[in-house]
Amino acid sequence: MADLPNVNIEQINEFKRKANSSEDHSVLMLNLNRYTPEAGYPNGKLYAEYMGVLDQLLSEVGGKILWRTHVHGVVVGQQEINEALGIWYPSHAAFLNLMTAPSSEKNMKLRTAAVEHADLHRCEDYTK
């Protein structure tokens, strides 16, 4: 199983609770990423490889990137990011399955090299 930095244990426990209950449903994760200089965002080889493996990993758990967009700057606040992604998962269990899916290890290796900082926010699935 891969490890993620800065995990909010309370939220992971909520994911596990929902995943193991009749309350499990689709979920949208808002990913706010700042990439390493080595990633070469948005046109670099490392960034492209990371996105390719991420797409593969998501397909293994039934998820998909609904949208991604370049962030041009901070209007309010102090969080410097390069890209925002909306990633849909069919269930909370599917999100948890990311850590054990076949491409997980390769994804985490690339993520470590390409992503300097990431915040993931659990959101209501707006496709309901």
Tens-place pLDDT, residues 9-52: 999 999 999 999 999 999 999 999 999 999 999 999 999 999 99
**CB burial string 60-72: b at 16+ within 10 A, e below:** bbebeeeeeeeee
pLDDT in tens, 58-111: 999 999 999 999 999 999 999 999 999 999 999 999 999 999 999 999 999 999
Cα-based distances in Å from 89 to 50, 92, 106, 109 = 19, 7, 20, 22
Task: Tell me how many helices (H) and strands (E) the chain has.
Answer: 4, 4
DSSP class of residue 23 equals T
Residue 24 corresponds to which amino acid?
Answer: D
- CATH code assigned to 25-124: 3.30.70.100
